[in-house]
Chain A
Amino acid sequence: MTDSNATIPKSPPPGLFFAGSDDEDEVDDENIPLNVETRSPSIPTAPQTPSTSRSSPFNEPLFLDDDDDDDKNMNIYEEEDNVVPQKRQIFDNDSDIEIIEDPGLSRKKQKKIDPEEVTSSSKEKKDISSAKECSISFVSDTPTSQVIDAFMPTYIGELVVPNAWSTVSGRGYVKINDSIHVKREQQNYASSDKAEASTSSSSKKKTDGKRQITLSNMLKPQPVKFNNSKKKKSDTIVRLVNNKGFEFGRLATDTSWWIAKLLENNIVEIRGVMTDCPEKLTTGASLIVTLHMYLIASAFKPLKRTFGNDDPVHLGFNEGLETEEETILRERKQAVVKMFEVLGLRPQAGANVQTNEMSHEENLQKLAKRPVRKVKEIVGDDEEIEVDDSEELTKNEIDAIYSRAQHNDRTMAEMEPSDSFSLTLRGYQKQALRWMHSLETGTMDAREASSMHPLWNQYAFPGEPIMDGETIDLTAEEKPFYFNPYSGELRLDFPRAERNCQGGILAAFRTVNQRKQQTSQPASATLVVAPTSLLTQWSEELQRSCKPGRMQVIVWHGQNRQDLEDLLECDEDDRGNVIKVVVTSYGVLASEHAKMDRSSKVKSPIFEICWLRIILDEAHACKSRTSKTAKAVYALNAKRRWAVTGTPIVNKLEDLFSLLKFLDFKPWSEFSFFRSFITIPFLSRDPKAIEVVQVILESILLRREKNMRDQDGKMIVELPPKEVIVEELEFSPLERKIYDSIYLSAKKDFERLDAKGLVSKNYTHILAMLMRLRRAVLHPSLVLGKEDEEHSTFPQDGGKKVTINELIEKFADGEQAGDGNSSAFVEHFVTNLSGNDLAECPICFNEMEIPMVIPRCMHQFCKDCIVSYIGICEEKRQVANCPTCSEGPIKSTDLVEIVKKGKNQGMSSSQSSDTPVMLRKNDFQTSTKLDALVRNLRQLREQDPCFRAVVFSQFTSFLDLIQVALERERFDQYRFDGTMDVKKKSAAVNEFKSFSRKPKVLVVSLKAGGVGLNLTNANYVFMMDCWWNSATENQAIDRVHRIGQNKTVYVKHFIVSKTIENRILQIQKRKTAIVNEAFRGSGKADPESIQNLKIMFGDS
């Protein structure tokens, strides 16, 4: 490495690029000479060993990459060219041209240089823009093409076509046992026009002699060209031509459709024999011909896949459409499948061999035929298909998909992180590091996937019958060949299951894994794209993971986005071993991309820079391939790409597509390809689809779940236990009344609609009612708006409603009459109370935790007692008087709370006021749930004076109320919801995490904080409401219960009994997956969700 380095004259500070630990370059350097040696001798003899093909994928990229590093590599080889002359040739994409022809072998070597191929491969070279290292293996499998060119046409079977027909009239065109040509294209001979027109051609020429046909003219430049093939697509004429070159007949369409494609695609050579024909031909006379099929070299040519157009500008324009080349490929595949069927060729090994053969046949046919119809449907009506339920994956299916990718993970090798990494890794993390490292460098497949690619079938060449004295040089007859019934590809070499992009998907339970990745690869910039809420966390974690000074993290977000190029360049002089990481958000990316889209002049540096590595965090953020975010992500340039997500497949297989597209994992990164070979087979319940996905994932996915075990059977992550308690609460009479009235009217509504069969039409209305009920459970003021006074009727007790509304109104008003006295109270009570902390409530005889005073008579009670006493009196329509002195009447709003400071906490520092006692009006309406929360938090404070708790609710309006309640309880509390900007969010989290002896509570909106956040400093979780599916709740809990947590996590769900919440739980148990969909508010109602609604309003 260092030696070659020294010889390089060009490129600025070379040393920087070749820091000793840059494994990738080292690897490449070592491998290249090795490959040369193994390949060079292989050219003439054309052996097929997996090893030759295996080493290929990571060599090509060097020459396609314009990056500095690789330029240098290129130079090295050029200098060494004289030493190893073949090296250039081998590594050149255009090597087809230079293939050594062995005259002894190529008696019939018709293979000419295909101009199209040359142009396209050079185009390929150009197109694969500087950064793309991935994905070329199909196109330029150099050693393979050597073998292919040495391949002799090989007999694979024969068929009798009984219904060919004559296009001419007359004698002498052909006679029985004549060999005939089978041609696709029209002849240039003079007679062909006539023949074409099927008019009387009187020239009667008999051919004699049994000559073997040479097929050279058949193999002239062929219809890979799209325009060309487009025209040809319209017909499927297959012409029969006699030895003199006259077309005398055609195949009937039932055979010609596939034979035409085979010919067009240069898959077979057909040697025909006239089996039976009338002596005198007449137009339309039926002919019986026997066709001997020979696979020819060009059949094994790697397929050209120019799709996945590497020019980012064109991305996304024709997604979903079947491109012309796609059509060609599909037709080619159909033709080959059909041919195998007709010839009776069965696979020896490979996909589906073990299953019974009939079904395999059917499968192949089904697969081959389906796209014709289906794809069209999709093109016409993409949206319809998108919402098709059958595309949804069940949990089991998703698990099945992952299982394969994980099956041998336990025994994977480990790898130590580089010395710049400051944290200790767990075993499974070292495994992951090894895996990622091997994927990036391509040294070896950590999973050792050396089995046959599951998409492929192995076929044997059948023995060829000796044809009329002509012996054929069967050089490769013992060799099997391989066919991929999905892509229609044919290969001679062993199709090892392979991976061909640098990067992968980490379906880990997040972050920790990939941090070390950067540390092992210094000296290049890495881009991290993460949801806005996680930017700060990323930057912190990165800093934390790395020894000081070894990493520079730039958060590129917000208004002051600096010039990235400057940032990245200026530092190259400093130290070569500083790892530079740019952290940005999807939002920024999308807007930068949009800017670029609007005017071509604007160049956003983020898309200009060729990153060493891109990491997408929560990569499912770009799961919709048509979204702006996804398009922006596709437009990034990078050598190595990683997608980190907990859910690579959220609920559709196509979710995966977007990731593959980003990873540039060809050919699956082409939408129509993905669609044709994965989505559509899946829709038709073809298990093969799942298998294909499994194969893809096996090579690029590393999935880690909390409950996975390592090779010793230990949990890979030893998380502390989690205790979940559901606390069932009872409404206060008042809340019960409010709730019931809302519930009854909703129920009545529902029953009315149900009776009329209008439920599905009014689905959204019902969902809205449900939403209201769910709010009512939390707090009455969340539902008692102005509209309620009109809509909801309070049976038998109108006055109560007024009371509540009045209360709420008064609370909102805040200040009230009588406030003038408050200073006097303070005076009075400060003296009275400060020494007397242990005052006893005259009602409950307990110490007053929250003493309240009746201003009128100054009598004190604990809050709970006096408030409920007043409530009971109101309930009985009695006037409430002071329980001690009967002064009255009193209202709960009159009460004044005495807030003692520093009673339980040692909170002397923060409070500025010196008064130990403070008065506060009872201007806050609490609720059962709030009470429960506050009660729990108070208890917690007793046990653990500096606890950390996280409170989740899905309603931000309820979060407001929670905050007020916490404020009143004098808890240090912070809030995190989706409406806050990044700064505020990260400030909230930081403050929550910062050290303090006081208890802290973080109030989090379930939707905003349910993903990504790391809140392991807390170990108490309170779920204020229940979400339709428990998965979302669990994900929220996992913010706390995750790696880094070292205490037992206590989770408390608050449920109010005999409310909609019980029923939600009921439904949750019933069928999680469907509820999930049904209540997401999509506006559509299926029978299942209506059934669920009936549970909601049932009387159970």
Chain B
Amino acid sequence: MALPKMKLHPQLRSCDQLTIGCSKETERLVADPAPGISALPHDDNLRYFDVIIEGPGGSPFQNGKFKLELFLPEEYPMAPPKVRFLTKIYHPNIDKLGRICLDILKDKWSPALQIRTVLLSVQALLSAPNPDDPLATDVAKHYKENEADAQRVSQEWTQKYAV
């Protein structure tokens, strides 16, 4: 007799409830998307989201539409969602595989955070690269040594891959 893990996830906001229907969070996300961000769950796997983030204005990623995938692990919201860029991007905190270096996706995760806040944070990361905490070390080096040139490359990549 399999029963939900009562203690660990007393009020599952988006995991097991997803199997029944849209969770409150997903519902809101879809109904009231954050500007420049869209996230849609897969029909066959409600834990899996297709995400598109528009590059923030004033950044080298402006006008780009970046595809991401977002996956809610079983422990969510006690554990952070897994997020990855699918679109190639030239950014010191995002590596070739699209992995993102963002503290709230790791040790600074809090269950009070949401998909929306995570994606907003990712969007903010595009505006404010942080080469001091790099994931793609060569890009970070480029940004540190010659930020303007680096931004140019970022812009080129955006034009090339994200439009």
Contacts and interface: CB of A to CB of B under 8 A. Distances in A.
B8 A868 contact: yes
Interface in B1-57: 1, 3, 5-13, 23-25
B110 interface: yes
Nearest to A927: B7
Contacts of A844: 10-13, 77
A928 to B, nearest CB: 7
A545 interface: no
Contacts of A1057: 1, 3
Nearest to A881: B110
Nearest to B6: A730
Nearest to A886: B110
B8 A884 contact: no
Nearest to B1: A728
Contact of A845 (B7, B8, B24, B110): B24
A869 B9 CA distance: 9
B78 interface: yes
A928 B110 contact: no
A882 B110 CA distance: 8
Given A845-B24, A872-B78, A731 B111 contact: no
B112 A843 contact: yes
Interface in B96-132: 107-108, 110-113
If over half of B's interface residues share one DSSP class (helix, strand or loop), that class is named, otherwise mixed; here it is loop
Contact of A733 (B3, B8, B13): B8
A730 B4 CA distance: 8
Contacts of B113: 883
A928 B24 contact: no
A882 B113 CA distance: 11
Contacts of A846: 11, 13, 24
A730 B112 contact: no
Nearest to A849: B11
Contact of A884 (B9, B12, B77, B112): B112
A729 interface: yes
A882 B108 CA distance: 11
A883 B13 CA distance: 15
Nearest to A869: B111
Interface residues of A, number: 33
Contact of B111 (A732, A865, A928, A932): A865
A865 B8 contact: no
A932 B11 contact: no
Nearest to B78: A872
Contacts of A297: none
Contacts of A730: 3, 5-7
Interface residues of B, number: 22
A777 interface: no
Nearest to B27: A845
A731 B5 CA distance: 8
A862 B11 CA distance: 9
Interface string A58-72: 000000000000000
Interface string A921-932: 000000010011
Contacts of B107: 878
B7 A843 contact: no
A864 interface: yes
A531 interface: no
A73 to B, nearest CB: 70
Nearest to A872: B78
A729 B7 CA distance: 10
B7 A733 contact: yes
A732 B10 contact: no
A841 B11 contact: yes
A842 interface: yes
B3 A868 contact: no
B5 A883 contact: no
Most B C-beta atoms less than 10 A away, residue of A841, A845, A862, A932: A845
B11 A843 contact: yes
B7 A883 contact: no
Given A728-B3, A730-B5, A869-B78, A842 B112 contact: yes
B115 to A, nearest CB: 11
B84 to A, nearest CB: 23
Contacts of B110: 881-884, 886
Interface in B126-158: none
Most B C-beta atoms less than 10 A away, residue of A846, A864, A868, A871: A868
Contacts of B10: 844, 862, 864-865, 868
Contact of A883 (B1, B3, B11, B111): B111
Nearest to A735: B7
Interface string A853-880: 0000000011011001101100000100
Contacts of B8: 732-733, 868, 872
A106 B107 CA distance: 117
Most A C-beta atoms less than 10 A away, residue of B7, B8, B23, B108: B7
A931 B6 contact: yes
Contacts of B13: 843-846
A846 B25 CA distance: 10
A861 B112 CA distance: 9
A730 B1 CA distance: 11
Contacts of B25: 845
Nearest to A861: B112
Contacts of A931: 6-7
Given A845-B24, A868-B78, A883-B112, A731 B11 contact: no
Contacts of A865: 10-11, 111
A105 B70 CA distance: 117
Nearest to A730: B5
A871 B9 CA distance: 11
A14 to B, nearest CB: 72
Contacts of A841: 11
B108 A886 contact: yes
A868 B111 CA distance: 11
B24 A843 contact: no
Contacts of B78: 868-869, 872
Given A843-B13, A881-B110, A886-B108, A868 B77 contact: no
A731 B6 CA distance: 8
A570 to B, nearest CB: 64
30 contacts: A728-B3, A729-B3, A730-B3, A730-B5, A730-B7, A731-B7, A732-B8, A733-B7, A733-B8, A843-B13, A844-B10, A844-B12, A844-B13, A845-B23, A845-B24, A845-B25, A846-B24, A861-B112, A862-B10, A862-B11, A868-B7, A869-B78, A872-B78, A878-B107, A881-B110, A883-B111, A883-B112, A886-B108, A886-B110, A1057-B1
Given A844-B11, A884-B110, 10 more contacts: A730-B3, A733-B7, A735-B7, A844-B77, A845-B23, A868-B78, A872-B8, A878-B107, A883-B113, A886-B108
Interface of A: 726-733, 735, 841-846, 861-862, 864-865, 868-869, 871-872, 878, 881-884, 886, 928, 931-932, 1057
Can you list the 8 inter-chain pairs with the closest CB atoms, starting with the nearest? Answer: A864-B10, A844-B11, A732-B7, A883-B112, A883-B110, A842-B112, A843-B111, A845-B24
